[in-house]
Structure 1
Amino acid sequence: MTNPANNNNLSLIPVPSDELTKLRDLYLKDWPQNCVGYYTLDNFIRWLQKDPQIKALAILTLNNDDWRTDGTFVLADRYQLFLNTLNPSNERLRIALSLLDWSGGYKVSSFLERHRPAVLDVVDTQLHLQKEYDSLTLVYHMPRDEAIQMEIDCPDGFVVRAMNEDDAVVADNVWPNQHVGSLFLLKRLIKWNPNVGVFTKANNELVAWCFRLQGGFLGALQVKDTHQRMGLGRLVLKSITKKIGQMDQDVMACVGHENTPSKRLFESCGFKVIDKAFWLRTYPTKDFEWTDKYHFCILKMNKNILVKIPYKDWPKLRDLYVNRKLESNSFNMIQNFINWLQKDPTLEEESVKLYSLNGDWSDGTFIIQDHKTYITMNTLEDSQERLLAALRCLDKKEDYILYGFHERLKKTIEAYVKDFEIDKAPRTLWHHVELKQALAFNTDPPEGITLSPIRTEDIETVNNLWPHHHPGSELFVGRLIRLGQSVGAYDNDGNLVSWCLTLPLGALGLLQVQESHRRKGFGSLMVKAMAKMNAEKGIETLAPIIEENTASRAMFKNLGFVEINEIFWYGKTSNIIRNSTKKLYEINYKSKLINTTVFGV
């Protein structure tokens, strides 16, 4: 069904898994007022540590960083929905709920009274959903310091111990809340959460039990009819309370507001009411039924969006490509941008953006946007469908240069640009030299020459002698010199006579020799010096060379470089026409002439 959210720029995205603890810890504020949000997230953080690939689990927030202060999240676990926010207005929570697909029905679980207006606004006012039930419970709480003091007195003939998964069948068969999917739920709670069962010593019969639910609450506390009025309900309550207290956690429980016997039991054991919580279930709006084998999440992203990958996660993304170090737009390139930001952290906000699709980069799918115009990308997904979806999130009205991409991405890139005017750079070949060979290079300079990183005062010299220099290119050259690895050959007078830089691709580029020093082996010396420096750091040396540049190709071949594949540069304009007469190196982007052959040797 159509989502009625009127917030076109907002969408639901997953909370990065390594930031879940930050989200959880926001709920330490004003304890125990926000303990429900804390223990809900804590439960699923622990579960993900046990199984990082839990099916049908999504922990979502809105696509901006406001969650870092207001803690807004919605959490879909199969057919159950959990939610919370620290924002008293509930507005962002309401928006998040409206962006869900409710057509499969949800059991909205243990949501607090202060969040009820947001839930009802979506369920009743916006979507007009029918409800199977809408129940009020009281939130009981006991601090951990009190919980560990609980005294356990087990009657003769019984033993208290944790249940196993087979015991879930017994509990499910007599559970008043039994429903499709409940057996799977109880088995999982036994497997992953603290629980307590009371068994007869005579025949090992399970006669009383209590679970800890996903939201952190005690739940499904029950005693078989045959063993009522023997104090076993109190026994399992005290036992699991003490058990959770010994985990250094407070204990919570939801009790129906009309369930007088249970309220008396909890209060007599020392629990106090701190809040109210509701349980609401909506009917599906289409033919649909959950089963124990039905494990996909009934969740709909409003639209695909690009989500920034935090800088601290860039090494993790890089390491996904550890077995593809010889590819362009892969390990070396990501590491190169990591190095840049180590030297200048402002780049992340000002120019270099690393994006995932909808916050998920587990399959290596990413886009890097540098100074808005330069786009590079990669994916490990065989179908490359998510990479294409990510590219289609780029602004259609902007002009882009898609640079240095590997030939295995060519079909996907061409599918992206097929409706736009494009231009292609000359055929470019990707070269590589083995680490062992690079380590053996002799890099001793001729007499009167010193090798060192290029000095910033020589930026103008490098730019002016670059055959492809253009208005604004001095900024590009300057950034390569300031932030990247380079080597320059200086004479005794301090004059720069030859040089080589590291391109954004993490490959060699801008190799140049002053006219006065040509045919003296300086070009080869620069390449060998850069390759040896890389090899000493365990870095593969790669270089793009335009096919028609036969002199450079011959020199690299003589040094032991091998052509390993082809890479590509496409210029995409905002014009939706196909008969362009422009050349790629003449496209004017935002009044700044940009030449994509800057990336070739």
Structure 2
Amino acid sequence: MSGKLDDILVDISNEYLDSLADIYRKSGNIPYASSLLRHGKKLIDEGKHFITFMSSGESWKQDGTFFALMQFPHRYQVVVLTLSASGEKIYDILMKTKRIDFDEHKMVFYALPSSLYPAILRVIEDKALKIEKTNINYIYTISKEDAMKFQVEYPPGIKSAKLEKCHSNIVNTFWSNAFPGSDEYVTAFIENNGGIGLFFESTNELVSWVLKTGVGKIGLLQTAQNHRKKGYASILTKLLSKQIAEGGENPTTNVLITNKASIKLMEKLGMQNVGTCYYITLFKRDTIP
């Protein structure tokens, strides 16, 4: 990554990530920010360096502004978060930095808060980039205290277990957002972040699953076509929510605004809709139609 030594963006030392997480937790804004920072710190401490946290100098101390790069196979994800009321600073940084590679990677602005959407659109326009796809999601969250109260009852013949690399193919096959090479992406997700599956006890067949995303959220919740409407998604959401809560974070998930079934599930579980965020996928420059 070019320009690292003299760039407007510099790495945030791992020792400060907890402090930055506390800033967001105390603010009550952007509920997945604290989870991202603490989950990312844990991964870095474990020697998994696919995630990098950066800020313009020490501006993270003043207004919480930071950038997180998550480099998975076939996906280059950029998280941009700030507690500032203005997106002008974000626009200025993105126009100047060389540490975010707009040219060679298929980028995704990941879980972008609605407040920053206009600033990012300006960056895309002024850098002559093109949008492949934009997804708008509701942000649902629940307190860790309430998540710990979830009661889980398994249907007869069903067990839960940790997802392994060998399960990535079936997860990718049923994923509605699959893309060329996404099987490697899903494998990296499972390896780095983990997930939970529901299996038949008799055959060990995987029938439903959920993953923890790169920002420590509940994601890729799915049930195989022939096993739906049996309450499996509710069980998995409770299980992963409790796991996240045990780690000290408030469980959070993003749901497409058109996904009525998932919206109904989250609200039935007592999760609160606290706003919207965007996922913006950009074309590589050499593939712009």
TM-score (norm 1): 0.44
Structure-2 separation of matches of 1:237 and 1:23: 27
- Cα displacement (A) at 1:194: 4.6
- Cα displacement (A) at 1:181: 4.4
Contact kept, 8 Å, 2:113 with 2:276, in 1: the verdict is yes
Contact kept, 8 Å, 2:34 with 2:249, in 1: the verdict is no
Q: Could you tell me which residue of structure 2 aligns to residue 70 of structure 1?
A: 63
Structure-1 separation of matches of 2:40 and 2:81: 14
- Cα displacement (A) at 1:287: 6.0
- Cα displacement (A) at 1:60: 1.8
1:49 to 45, 50, 65: 45
Q: Could you tell me which residue of structure 1 aligns to residue 10 of structure 2?
A: 13
Alpha carbons of structure 1 residues 117 and 34: separation in structure 2 relative to 1, 3 Å = same
- Cα displacement (A) at 1:10: 6.5
Contact kept, 8 Å, 2:163 with 2:194, in 1: the verdict is no
Asked whether 1:239 is paired with 2:239, we answer yes
What letter is aligned with 2:62? Answer: T
5 Å-filtered alignment, 1:46-445, equals 46-51=42-47, 54-55=49-50, 57-62=51-56, 64-78=57-71, 79-98=76-95, 99=97, 100-103=100-103, 104-124=105-125, 126-286=126-286
- Cα displacement (A) at 1:244: 1.8
Note the alpha carbon deviations across 1:5-35, whole angstroms, 9 max, x for none.
xxxx97222222332223332212322x232
Note the alpha carbon deviations across 1:64-90, whole angstroms, 9 max, x for none.
322221121111112111110111112
- Cα displacement (A) at 1:242: 2.0
Structure-1 separation of matches of 2:61 and 2:7: 16
Asked whether 1:37 is paired with 2:1, we answer no
Gaps of 5+ in 1: 1-8, 289-601
Structure-2 separation of matches of 1:59 and 1:69: 16
Q: CA RMSD in A?
A: 1.9
Alpha carbons of structure 1 residues 181 and 39: separation in structure 2 relative to 1, 3 Å = farther
Structure-1 separation of matches of 2:52 and 2:27: 27
- Cα displacement (A) at 1:142: 0.6
Alpha carbons of structure 1 residues 185 and 67: separation in structure 2 relative to 1, 3 Å = same
Structure-2 separation of matches of 1:220 and 1:168: 11
TM-score (norm 2): 0.89
Alpha carbons of structure 1 residues 58 and 244: separation in structure 2 relative to 1, 3 Å = closer
Structure-1 separation of matches of 2:7 and 2:165: 41
Structure-1 separation of matches of 2:171 and 2:123: 34
Q: Which secondary structure state, in structure 1, belongs to the residue aligned with residue 119 of structure 2?
A: helix
Structure-1 separation of matches of 2:17 and 2:11: 10
Indicate the structure (1 or 2) with the bigger Cα radius of gyration. Answer: 1
Q: Could you tell me which residue of structure 2 aligns to residue 518 of structure 1?
A: none
Gaps of 5+ in 2: 1-5
Contact kept, 8 Å, 2:10 with 2:55, in 1: the verdict is yes
- Cα displacement (A) at 1:176: 1.1
Contact kept, 8 Å, 1:61 with 1:96, in 2: the verdict is no
Q: Relative contact order (C-alpha < 8 Å, sep 6+): which is higher?
A: 2
Contact kept, 8 Å, 1:59 with 1:75, in 2: the verdict is yes
Contact kept, 8 Å, 1:73 with 1:93, in 2: the verdict is no
Structure-1 separation of matches of 2:259 and 2:11: 37
Q: Which secondary structure state, in structure 2, belongs to the residue aligned with residue 286 of structure 1?
A: helix
Contact kept, 8 Å, 1:12 with 1:60, in 2: the verdict is yes
Q: State the aligned residue count.
A: 275
- Cα displacement (A) at 1:49: 1.0
Q: Which secondary structure state, in structure 2, belongs to the residue aligned with residue 159 of structure 1?
A: strand
Structure-2 separation of matches of 1:250 and 1:181: 32
Q: Could you tell me which residue of structure 1 aligns to residue 23 of structure 2?
A: 26
